């Protein structure tokens, strides 16, 4: 299959064929995968490629593609298409893809939440730190391009507070995967002094969707909570899984005492996210672009206002960068 996928259009065609064989509509795939329907629609139409490996796997599993070899085929096709000549790389904007640690220089707009997470991470606590937000709020980007670089900086100046970090996402076998990653972490600490390690679990809600074994799920959650005795544990939880998380005592306590809510970006945050990467890349941002973005992102029928109350494009709006 992968060898037949040579373009973004090929990828969309084969993905659509897979969906149709499963008898699913686009809205069904969006609902079952937890990915916004408009985003899934872009993947099936060929306007965009899946943002990352985890999104691809979620779509494939929903469409009945569960054989590891076939999933590997799809992954190989996705990576090959991303490397095709003519595809833009190194741009200051990531589109639908999340920011990674190497993209930290382009990551703007969430500085306040990043510093809040860092301050909480420096505290000694027997509970995980939980970042909660709606789908698409940017939790993964915040952890990878915001928090990770700051933890690295902290480790350099205060090794007793921060040390090596591992990032993982729950799979169908979360306990085995966690143990394997902890073995890697222990190896990185061999012979080192100080440095409290950190375990970041991105897309934590996947433990409720990908792991079908309740005993494994409970053991995974218990092990993470117990890890807080020796490590910093940070979880990113999608808000619509809140009710499932609070069924577990350790998570309920963490959500009560160590929760950070990631709200939708404010007008000023969006402005920084657009203007600052462009300034860093030495490119111009057209007048009115930020205002158009804010108007597009605002709830339908709502008036979009900046932090000072001025409507984008109104008489009190800034002149741009």
CB-based burial of residue 95 (10 Å sphere; 0-12 exposed, 13-18 middle, 19+ buried)?
A: exposed
**Which 3 state secondary structure label does DSSP give 108?**
coil
Tokens 């909660």, located at residue: 132
* Digit-coded pLDDT (tens) for 24-42: 999 899 889 888 777 888 8
Mean pLDDT of the chain: 81
Instruction: Report pLDDT digits (tens) over 149-193.
Output: 888 877 766 666 677 888 888 988 999 999 988 887 777 666 555
Q: How far is the C-alpha of 107 from the C-alpha of 98, rounded, in Å?
A: 10
All structural domains of the chain with their residue ranges: 2-82, 101-261, 265-321
Tens of pLDDT, residue by residue over 241-267, are: 999 999 999 999 999 999 999 988 888
Which residues sit opposite 237 in a β-bridge?
132
**Cα–Cα distance measured from residue 92 to residue 90, given in angstroms and rounded to the nearest whole number:** 7
For 101-261, CATH number?
3.40.50.300
Per residue in 212-224, pLDDT tens? Answer: 899 999 999 999 9
What is the DSSP code (8-state) at residue 236?
Answer: E
pTM: 0.65
| Domains 2-82 and 101-261 are alike in CATH topology | no
| pLDDT score recorded for residue 291 | 74
Say if residue 316's pLDDT is above 70: no
Nearest of 31, 9, 5, 18 to residue 65 by alpha carbon: 18
Residue 236, pLDDT score: 96
Instruction: Give yes or no for residue 90 having a pLDDT over 60.
Output: no
Are 5 and 75 spatial neighbours (Cβ–Cβ below 8 Å)? no
The separation between CA 13 and the C-alpha centre of its own chain, rounded to angstroms, equals 26
Of 83 and 239, the one with more pLDDT: 239
Topology (CATH) of 2-82: 434 Repressor (Amino-terminal Domain) (1.10.260)
The band of 306, judged by pLDDT with boundaries at 50, 70 and 90, is very low
What is the per-residue pLDDT across 4-20, written as a single tens digit (0 to 9) for each? 677 888 888 899 999 99
pLDDT at 190: 67
Strand order, beta sheet including 198-201: 165-168, 198-201, 232-238, 129-133, 259-261
Closest CA to 234 of 243, 247, 225, 242: 225
pLDDT band at 310; cut points 50, 70, 90: very low
């Amino acid at each position: 299959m992968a060898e037949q996928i040579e373009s973004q259009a090929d990828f969309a065609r084969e993905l659509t064929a897979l969906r149709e064989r499963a008898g699913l509509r686009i809205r069904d795939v969006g609902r079952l995968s937890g990915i916004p329907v408009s985003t899934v629609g872009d993947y099936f139409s060929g306007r965009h490629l899946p943002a990352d490996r985890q999104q691809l796997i979620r779509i494939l599993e929903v469409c009945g593609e569960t054989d590891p070899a076939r999933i590997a085929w799809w992954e190989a096709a996705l990576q090959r298409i991303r490397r095709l000549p003519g595809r833009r790389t190194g741009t200051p904007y990531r589109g639908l893809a999340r920011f990674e640690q190497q993209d930290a220089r382009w990551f703007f707009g969430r500085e306040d939440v990043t510093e809040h997470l860092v301050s909480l991470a420096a505290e000694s606590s027997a509970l995980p730190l939980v970042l909660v937000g709606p789908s698409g709020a940017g939790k993964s980007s915040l952890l990878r391009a915001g928090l990770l670089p700051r933890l690295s900086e902290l480790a350099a100046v205060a090794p007793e507070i921060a040390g090596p970090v591992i990032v993982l996402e729950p799979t169908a076998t979360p306990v085995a995967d966690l143990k394997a990653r902890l073995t890697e972490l222990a190896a990185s600490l061999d012979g080192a002094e100080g440095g409290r390690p950190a375990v970041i679990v991105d897309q934590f809600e996947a433990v409720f969707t990908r792991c079908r074994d309740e005993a494994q799920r409970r053991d995974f959650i218990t092990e993470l909570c117990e890890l807080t005795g020796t490590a910093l544990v940070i979880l990113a939880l999608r808000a619509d899984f809140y009710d499932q998380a609070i069924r577990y005592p350790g998570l309920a306590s963490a959500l009560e005492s160590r929760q950070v809510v990631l709200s939708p970006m404010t007008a000023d945050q969006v402005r920084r996210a657009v203007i600052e990467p462009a300034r860093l890349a030495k490119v111009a941002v057209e007048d009115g672009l930020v205002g158009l973005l804010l108007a597009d992102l605002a709830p339908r029928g709502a008036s979009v206002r900046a932090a000072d109350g001025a409507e984008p494009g109104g008489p009190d709006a800034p002149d741009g960068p």
